[in-house]
Amino acid sequence: MNYFSSDFKLGILGGGQLGKMMLNDTRKFDIQTYVLDPSDEAPCKIGSNKFFKGDLMDFDTVYNFGKQVDVLTFEIEHVNVAALEKLESEGIKVYPSPKTLKQIQNKGTQKDFYTANGIPTADYKRFESLTDLKTAVENNEITLPFVWKSTEGGYDGNGVKVIRTMESFEGVANVQCIAETMIPFKNELAVIVSRNPDGQIKTYPVVEMEFHPEANQVEYVICPARIDDAVAEKARAVALKVSESFNHVGLLAVEMFQTEDDQILVNEVAPRPHNSGHYSIEASYTSQFEQHLRAILNLPLGNTDSKVAGIMVNLVGAEGHSGNVLYQNIETILDKDGVTPHIYGKKQTRPFRKMGHVTIVNEDIAVARKIAEEVKNTIKVISQ
């Protein structure tokens, strides 16, 4: 099929920043794009050939949108899977597949999948409600502390909480959830795996994530991870096993823990371009967004090596600021070598909302990390 400068149409469910960055590559290749998103102010609106406003969880909306395109992909997991299944049964190519998405959407099902496929992961128990979980704690079936995760609807640190005492349950939703053993770990790592329908598969280098202590959001993504080669090889091997078990097409971001004794445990996965791969736009031969397109269109996969060390800093809304966004001191950071800001185009800021990111590239990872800290302390995302 001819994808370029042709009648071919690629549909993207979700119009956020991931879609916007994907559109940079569809425009580079002159691939027609249709985008569906619930917001009139979605970042993708200006970059797509056709933009549709609609509910991603509504069966008819997703189905009718999908009937207009040749290949359908998504940049967010919260979409109507039944509509995707019907579209796939009628000959529309959906990548990653509804089957893969179904196994990943619910965190309990995702954990069961790891156990069934011999993939190392932290011990856990599933509960139908918070009430059931509290009863299990009171009966000493679960010991404190542990990590509570809602099985559905969580993102960017929402739907996850460390439960240290019974008081920690305050404000936690009474929903289906899992209680996961707390893992003492040295590092949080991630590997992005790309795979096309022909089965060609490639992994990106292991990245290391540094988290904000309160918001449970990534502050820095560092590539390459500052770990032993043997640990990096093990992480890539585990990520490949996860990918092959899911038999996915597209990108799969595999988030992992490196334990104190250098075991690799899978935390969770995302079947789409991911925050941990943003560095690749500036630092890699093939960005994760171009690679996602290559994969879902069954084109040869690109080189995943890094040209240079890269660090990504998330730009999130400052605490105490809600309303029309203002990026303070952006000119100052642009004066530093190897610094590239990406502004997502969200008009409204609120505390900890992802509003953009900045990539810092340098031959020397230590220098890049130092500049990254300067960037983080300089630029502020505030309200006007």
What is the domain extent for residue 323? 185-383
pTM higher than 0.85, yes or no?
yes
Q: Is the same domain home to 255 and 354?
A: yes
Average pLDDT over residues 179-198: 96
- Tell me whether residue 244 is annotated as binding: no
- Tell me whether residue 303 is annotated as binding: no
Q: Is the same domain home to 294 and 309?
A: yes
Residue 184: cis peptide before it, omega within 30 degrees of 0: no
Q: Please identify, among 145, 161, 181, the residue that sits at the C-terminal boundary of a domain.
A: 181
Q: Please identify, among 46, 79, 94, the residue that sits at the C-terminal boundary of a domain.
A: 94
- Tell me whether residue 180 is annotated as binding: yes
pLDDT at 214 over 80: no
DSSP type of residue 300 = P
- How many domains does the chain contain in total? 3
In-domain check, residue 101: no
Instruction: For residue range 300-353, list pLDDT tens digits in order.
Output: 999 999 999 999 999 999 999 999 999 999 999 999 999 999 999 999 999 989
Residues 6+ apart with CB under 8 A from 146: 162, 163, 179, 180, 181, 182
Chain position carrying tokens 């050939």: 49
- Tell me whether residue 57 is annotated as binding: no
Q: Is the same domain home to 255 and 287?
A: yes
Q: Is the same domain home to 289 and 374?
A: yes
Q: What is the per-residue pLDDT for 375?
A: 97
- Tell me whether residue 183 is annotated as binding: yes
CA 132 to chain centre: 30
Query: Can you give the CATH number for the domain in which 327 is found?
Result: 3.30.470.20
pLDDT at 357 over 70: yes
Return the biggest CA–CA distance within the chain. Answer: 64
Instruction: For residue range 22-69, list pLDDT tens digits in order.
Output: 999 999 999 999 999 999 999 999 999 999 999 999 999 999 999 999
- Tell me whether residue 267 is annotated as binding: yes
Q: Please identify, among 74, 94, 114, the residue that sits at the C-terminal boundary of a domain.
A: 94
Q: What is the per-residue pLDDT for 107?
A: 94
- Tell me whether residue 268 is annotated as binding: yes
Q: What is the per-residue pLDDT for 157?
A: 61
**Residues 380, 301: contact at Cβ < 8 Å?**
no
Q: Is the same domain home to 345 and 267?
A: yes
